[in-house]
């Protein structure tokens, strides 16, 4: 039976069959929430098409949260229907080089890989990064503070986390310019040949792993390379892990700062409130993650037939879990479409749920805390530079800006200089 939708809230597209999300761009890229709201209100699960592939879109918070931890929904490519495995997107991200990592695995491999990474990416290690992140943020702010305008993505939000990632992985300084270029192209922050950049990244990371086996370097990959027993990883697993930290950790931090700052700039009352009281920043970061978070959709594959929201999904089908829709579900969050940095309910799905909850969440929160304290402390009168357009990345799984032009007045003091007290919510 055709899905009944609120057609007034959607572009003039036929919905008698699968909703072609790609046909709704660029509007769906600039603002996916109005389309997702109409879909969510009309039903919990919809047949959609994107990348030329039919998928099942799950829209409501309760269903998305349960599906994220449903063992019948696999992260491993072996559960994908055979005809889809040759599709360029799946062939590259699930069956290609550098695909042997936690995000693409189920237990017991996922358990083993996660345990190994957890042994190195410890809370103590992440907390120890704060002084370096503060130093980087201050240096970046110094570089544009006197100009009164900048592109917050190119000048601040992107260079900050990529340097942190490169230092965490132990990428030598001499290689960092090339490495950042490949990272920008692979993640869509810069135009270029993505396939070539991925190939270059793969070769480099494999060589880096071989070097780390004997270097004795005290970085994340060096520590994992020397691990023994159950924590020992193959060269391919180590290179894939390094790639995962790059493609998952880099744009997530960029988008947290970019999307969060855009939300504040579009809501001057919330911006003023945060500038008056830095004690609200920890909660504000959680609200940014909910309101317009970096991860917009998560892909899973039905390993066996199952039902979600009363809809039967055959084995081998692709299931698209819409975090963006779930986080704006009014059945879960009062006034869900409104930014509220004082929102009492800080739980969200931005970093996932269950066994795949993001291990890098504490680092992303730390980078976000330092970034917002630095920007709001140095820049008064922040406003969008309307003489230049916003630029969004087109991506299936993430939502983020390529450009965010702003104007401001420099102020010498740092009013957001209170001791950071970010409280990290427990995984749901």
CATH number where 49 lies: 1.10.630.10
**Whole-number Å distance between alpha carbons of 385 and 393:** 19
Local structure of 271: helix, strand or coil = helix
Half-sphere exposure of 133 (CA within 13 A, CB side): 27
Residue 76 CB contacts under 8 Å (≥ 6 apart), including other chains: 94, 104, 105, 106, 301
- 216 DSSP 8-state letter: -
Distance, in Å, from the CA atom of 31 to the CA atom of 263, rounded to the nearest integer, reads 12
* Beta strands, E only, 145-198: 149-151
pLDDT of residue 416: 56
| Rounded (10°) CA dihedral 427, 29, 280, 62 | -40
Residue 419: predicted pLDDT: 35
How many distinct structural domains can be found in the chain? 1
Each residue's pLDDT expressed in tens, for the chain with a length of 428 residues: 333 334 344 333 333 468 999 999 998 998 999 999 999 999 999 999 999 999 999 999 999 999 999 999 999 999 999 999 999 999 999 998 899 999 999 999 999 999 999 999 999 999 999 999 999 999 999 999 999 999 999 999 999 999 999 999 999 999 999 999 999 999 999 999 999 999 999 999 999 999 999 998 889 999 999 988 888 899 999 999 999 999 999 999 999 999 999 999 999 999 999 999 989 999 999 999 999 999 999 999 999 999 999 999 999 999 999 999 999 999 999 999 999 999 999 999 999 999 999 999 999 999 999 999 999 999 999 999 999 999 999 888 899 999 999 999 987 655 455 433 344 344 44
Does residue 64 lie within any of the structural domains? yes
Integer distance in angstroms from the first to the last C-alpha of the chain? Answer: 35
* Cα separations in angstroms, 63 against 46, 48, 117: 13, 17, 29
- What is the pLDDT at residue 50? 94
Name the DSSP class of 341: T
| Interatomic CA distance for residues 287 and 281, integer angstroms | 10
Q: Which residues of 197-217 are buried (b: 16+ CB within 10 A; e: fewer)?
A: bbebbbebbbebbeebeeeeb
The count of other CB atoms within 10 Å of the CB of residue 288 is 27
In a domain, 419, yes or no: no
In a domain, 98, yes or no: yes
Instruction: Output the pLDDT for position 231.
Output: 81
Q: Does residue 281 belong to any structural domain of this protein?
A: yes
* DSSP collapsed to 3 states, 350-383: CCCCHHHCCCCHHHHHHHHHHHHHHHHHHEEEEE
Enter the tokens of residue 350.
Answer: 């931005």
Residue 420 inside a domain? The answer is no
Helix (H) or strand (E) holding 246: helix 235-265
Sign of the torsion formed by the C-alpha atoms of 237, 239, 242 and 246: negative
Residue 418 lies in a domain: no
Alpha-carbon distance of 391 to 111, in angstroms, equals 38
Contact 205, 243 (CB under 8 A): yes
Owning domain of residue 16? 7-410
201 occurs within a structural domain: yes
What's the whole-model pTM score? 0.91
Q: Is residue 167 part of a domain?
A: yes
The Cα 144–Cα 148 span in angstroms is 7
- DSSP assigned state of 398: B
């Amino acid at each position: 039976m055709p899905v009944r939708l609120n057609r007034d809230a959607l572009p003039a597209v036929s919905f008698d069959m699968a909703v072609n999300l790609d046909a709704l761009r660029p509007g769906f890229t600039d603002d996916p929430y109005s389309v997702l709201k109409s879909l969510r209100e009309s039903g919990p699960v919809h047949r959609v098409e994107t990348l030329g592939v039919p998928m099942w879109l799950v829209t409501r918070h309760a269903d998305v949260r349960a599906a994220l931890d449903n063992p019948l929904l696999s992260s491993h490519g072996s559960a994908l229907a055979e005809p889809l495995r040759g599709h360029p997107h799946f062939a590259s991200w699930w069956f290609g080089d550098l695909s042997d990592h936690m995000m693409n695995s189920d237990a017991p491999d996922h358990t083993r890989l996660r345990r190994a990474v957890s042994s190195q990416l410890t809370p103590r290690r992440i907390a120890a990064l704060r002084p370096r992140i503060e130093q980087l943020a201050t240096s970046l702010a110094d570089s544009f503070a006197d100009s009164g305008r900048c592109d917050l993505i190119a000048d601040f939000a992107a260079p900050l986390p990529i340097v942190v990632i490169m230092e965490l992985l132990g990428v030598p300084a001499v290689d960092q310019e090339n490495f950042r270029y490949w990272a920008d192209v692979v993640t869509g922050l810069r135009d270029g040949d993505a396939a070539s950049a991925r190939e270059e990244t793969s070769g480099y990371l494999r060589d880096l792993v071989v070097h780390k086996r004997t270097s004795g370097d005290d970085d994340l990959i060096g520590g994992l390379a020397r691990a023994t027993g159950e924590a020992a990883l193959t060269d391919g697993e180590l290179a894939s892990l390094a790639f995962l930290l790059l493609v998952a950790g880099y744009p997530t931090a960029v988008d947290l700062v970019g999307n969060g700052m855009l939300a504040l700039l579009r809501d001057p009352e919330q911006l003023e409130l945060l500038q008056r009281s830095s004690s609200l920043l920890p909660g504000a970061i959680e609200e940014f993650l909910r309101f317009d978070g970096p991860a917009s959709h998560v892909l899973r594959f039905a390993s066996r037939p199952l039902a979600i929201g009363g809809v039967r999904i055959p084995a081998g089908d692709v299931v698209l879990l819409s975090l963006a829709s779930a986080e704006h579900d009014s059945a879960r969050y009062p006034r869900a479409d409104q930014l509220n940095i004082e929102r009492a309910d800080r739980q969200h799905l931005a970093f996932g749920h269950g066994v795949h909850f993001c291990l890098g969440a504490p680092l992303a929160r730390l980078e976000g805390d330092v970034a917002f304290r630095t920007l709001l402390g140095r820049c008064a009168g922040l406003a969008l530079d309307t003489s230049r357009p916003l630029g969004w990345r087109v991506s299936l799984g993430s939502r983020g800006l390529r450009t965010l032009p702003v104007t401001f007045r420099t102020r010498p003091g740092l009013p957001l200089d209170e001791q950071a007290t970010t409280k990290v919510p427990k995984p749901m």
